[in-house]
Structure 1
């Protein structure tokens, strides 16, 4: 009998912001219970620490440079074959409830500088190296402006999902099916959303933090959970023998920080310790110093999505509000799990919990995300609770990638992956843990912005091994090399250390190998020549 799959995914949620990953403050009993009943992966890394590219890797089990959504702003090609496509073909019922972000959400123009065409040179009508095979509207299904039209819906199947209930963006600025529901059920609240209507708490100075007008039951997190509960109940009534794969995707705990109701005050900033790496300077961190100088000069944009330097007070407040968001999610996961049991589906459902990437959240004095691949940003939670394990829990220390989620789901369903899948199966069709299969993990990042002292949009490639993390930037003569055993907080950059030169050489060679190994193999050759 093929198992069902219930996949919980959160947004910008670092691994150590869960009780089961050793956090002594944040309360996450329901997620912790999943870890107790299943397996907790201690070293799962993103393929890319940004939303769209890593969500594309979760869905396709391929690196961003291969599946095509190499950065935010570049939609995942609709020609992509996802694990949901494969399960759907095999008879599964597939659904996505919550945040998708496989296509662009906002209508803002890209940040890249305009292309320079020399005088006397004729510009071709071909703007890109690839032809568009679908109308532009096919890649605009998640845009906020499209959802302003009450007739707009996601065209399904959507990347393999036969059903989609969309709640895109973050905090109380979300839109999609959630906003449609709110406008009908609570129009007075729908008219007072976002930072324009939010109330500033005089006790807080953190940017992007306001008390939402929404109550707990109208907040996106609750809507996504209740829609998931209804879906499970309906499935148990109408199609109990049909296997399903349901992704329950929460837009939190992402900035802006707007936990509703009791979750706003649930954690006190004064009780939150700041990261040890906030204090003092650290050799070789010129990118961090650049951000600190930017903030000191008053040039940092603290209202946007790009990383910036923050004060200790700001970091304490951001973490406290983030913990409120996380506990809100945990409570709603408890509701979903209760519904799964009530529907009689629990005994044949693999439950997975992960996130799309982490958040620096004060590490080295920096918040949010960007091309600084410290552990808090690139290491994500990954929990696999399988009824076939008969309650056997524990943790795994072997290296894993976000790409491995889809590959593991297909393996557990007893379905061979398509050619070109680069993820590794972490479980067999019987639910038995597969042996460790990675000695290193590759992380990519391609930014639209030029910053951190670079003249061109930042591009970086990172290799993580059992012991080391090395990041190589396309521009500039400096990089990063950390010994994660001797220096787990990544305080001492060994890039320019003469004694570390042999290790640096070995990691460079392994990085080249990984880049070669992750070159595309799809499509297969059709003839010898």
Structure 2
């Protein structure tokens, strides 16, 4: 074992925290991810800061809450002036690269104002979320179409998959009895195998690109963000993974009839979305979830291949590895589909951290119950690279002390998340203007409090009601608990980092010394 030299930051899009065997899933076996957990620490109470791809990832990459970085939904640009992971690590000598997805929308207007050419060396970094795009592939084109010139599409065509858009027609579609293309966008087709050979599908392809990067990286320390698109929809898996699991192996739906009685207005509006209506049907769950499980199993198998490569290259001895997800997936729980709201199935994420440093030996295989947040990764990577903490910008905290069995003073006893549902049909159903379609969550060990602008709050007792079936938002007996949690939320909002262009140390140096700098005011 040795000191940390490289960083491998793995993200699997829309992977639920409870869909790993090391997290207790009874039928889905993920031995390679479990093996990483045995060599590192699994954070059982890790939370994303916005349970939607774009804003969640921007919190991961900036180390800041959604309110602070301002990219509140998919395709909402991240400010060109916002620092990201690469801005913290490159000055320390790191090559910071991307293979896979970021779901980041560049701030084109901000770059024009600054005179930045997006094709220049600096412009590429600013427009690619601070990463060197070894291969960026969001699956979807930023304009929500599919890019026929995507590198993966070119790869598939070179392999003989003849189509303008083989990403859809082969990797994310099945074949009907008469040779017709059955799109993976339709849930009913999830039980069928994708038309692509397994070795040419998205997960092995991205794994190969990551292996190529690591093999060719040379002596420069690197941070590689390997960002898998799956198990995010379209829910369709190549053979044999499409048929590895059946309806008898899926988790029972975590939902209760009382959730449809006096339902919170925002939740009720989301229940009317097409994905929620369909996922509330047993037929849809029994069709889709086996495919979702197959995609997770495929991910685990190829991570096993990646970890074996790292072992053979000696990189397990000098590489910090993080495995996580940007958010979860309702899969019909709570009568909902997709993600976005604040139930545990949506907002809690898997988080496994492996450090090669001998200082972490005491915690190997440990399951950490303290709260961790997505915004903790940038401070963790910065500390691992030997950088200086920057608390005037970064709102998370380094996880390295917890990996080494030390608990820093004042470690958080609550976790926070946010949502902006302005772009969703729920806002129109509720007749809410776009700038008021906001929600916030604060969760402590016992309570989860949710506030939606313009509506009553929600409150759940996570000790007596861990499945979140009983909304205490209007319970007279819990008025004091709601008031206390509302105060916690307000205190958190007042602590956001807004003075980001000057450090706290510089503030200290400039405090009370105006006279010594020749500035005399109020002197007799």
Q: Which residue of 2 is the match for residue 420 of structure 1?
A: 393
Q: Which residue of 2 is the match for residue 454 of structure 1?
A: 430
Task: Answer yes or no: is 1:167 the counterpart of 2:137.
Answer: yes
1:502-521 map, 5 Å: 502-521=480-499
Q: Which residue of 2 is the match for residue 86 of structure 1?
A: 88
Q: Which deviates the most, 169-178 or 271-280? A: 169-178
Deviations along 1:94-137, whole A, 9 cap, x unmatched? 211111211279xxxxxxxxxxxxxxxxxxxxxx9x89625798
Deviations along 1:3-26, whole A, 9 cap, x unmatched? 311111011111001111111111
Q: Distance in 2 between matches of 1:170 and 1:19?
A: 30
Contact 1:291/1:309 (<8 A) preserved: no
Q: Which residue of 2 is the match for residue 222 of structure 1?
A: 204
Q: Distance in 2 between matches of 1:430 and 1:460?
A: 32
TM-score (norm 1): 0.82
Task: Answer yes or no: is 1:363 the counterpart of 2:333.
Answer: yes
SS of equivalent to 1:14: coil
Q: Which deviates the most, 464-473 or 160-169? A: 160-169
Distance 1:340 1:174, change over 3 A: farther
1:2-41 map, 5 Å: 2-41=4-43
Contact 1:229/1:339 (<8 A) preserved: yes
Distance 1:200 1:183, change over 3 A: closer
Q: CA RMSD in A?
A: 3.2
**Number of residue equivalences:** 479
Q: Distance in 2 between matches of 1:324 and 1:189?
A: 26
Q: Distance in 2 between matches of 1:245 and 1:332?
A: 20
Q: Distance in 2 between matches of 1:498 and 1:375?
A: 25
Distance 1:499 1:411, change over 3 A: same
Task: Answer yes or no: is 1:401 the counterpart of 2:380.
Answer: no
Contact 2:10/2:227 (<8 A) preserved: yes
Q: Which residue of 2 is the match for residue 146 of structure 1?
A: none
Segments of structure 2 that go 5 or more residues without pairing to the other structure are 515-524
Task: Answer yes or no: is 1:469 the counterpart of 2:445.
Answer: no
Q: Which residue of 1 is the match for residue 465 of structure 2?
A: 487
Q: Which residue of 1 is the match for residue 342 of structure 2?
A: 373
Distance 1:249 1:42, change over 3 A: same
Contact 1:56/1:69 (<8 A) preserved: yes
Task: Answer yes or no: is 1:260 the counterpart of 2:233.
Answer: no
Q: Distance in 2 between matches of 1:321 and 1:368?
A: 15
Contact 2:65/2:375 (<8 A) preserved: yes
Q: Which deviates the most, 518-527 or 454-463? A: 518-527
SS of equivalent to 2:19: coil
Structure 1 residue 170: Cα displacement: 6.1
Q: Which residue of 2 is the match for residue 437 of structure 1?
A: 411
Q: Distance in 2 between matches of 1:340 and 1:469?
A: 40
SS of equivalent to 1:7: strand
1:39-78 map, 5 Å: 39-78=41-80
Task: Answer yes or no: is 1:272 the counterpart of 2:250.
Answer: yes
Q: Distance in 2 between matches of 1:63 and 1:307?
A: 31
Q: Distance in 1 between matches of 2:85 and 2:481?
A: 37
Q: Distance in 1 between matches of 2:114 and 2:156?
A: 33
SS of equivalent to 2:494: helix
Distance 1:55 1:137, change over 3 A: farther
Structure 1 residue 429: Cα displacement: 11
SS of equivalent to 1:225: helix
Segments of structure 1 that go 5 or more residues without pairing to the other structure are 106-127, 142-153, 295-299
Q: Distance in 2 between matches of 1:433 and 1:177?
A: 44
Deviations along 1:374-412, whole A, 9 cap, x unmatched? 000000000001112237221110111110111111122
Q: Which residue of 2 is the match for residue 349 of structure 1?
A: 319
Q: Distance in 2 between matches of 1:491 and 1:430?
A: 34
Distance 1:432 1:162, change over 3 A: farther
Task: Answer yes or no: is 1:98 the counterpart of 2:100.
Answer: yes
Deviations along 1:486-527, whole A, 9 cap, x unmatched? 000000000000011110000000000011112423123876
Distance 1:515 1:445, change over 3 A: same
Q: Distance in 1 between matches of 2:83 and 2:39?
A: 31
Q: Which deviates the most, 56-65 or 193-202? A: 193-202
Q: Which residue of 2 is the match for residue 110 of structure 1?
A: none
Distance 1:132 1:63, change over 3 A: farther
Instruction: Compare the two structures and name the one with the higher helix fraction.
Output: 2
Q: Distance in 1 between matches of 2:299 and 2:146?
A: 17
Q: Distance in 1 between matches of 2:42 and 2:281?
A: 33
Distance 1:493 1:81, change over 3 A: same
TM-score (norm 2): 0.83
Contact 1:86/1:160 (<8 A) preserved: no
Q: Which residue of 2 is the match for residue 114 of structure 1?
A: none
Contact 1:174/1:220 (<8 A) preserved: no
Contact 1:215/1:261 (<8 A) preserved: yes
Q: Which residue of 2 is the match for residue 133 of structure 1?
A: 113
Q: Which deviates the most, 341-350 or 501-510? A: 341-350
Q: Distance in 2 between matches of 1:358 and 1:136?
A: 36
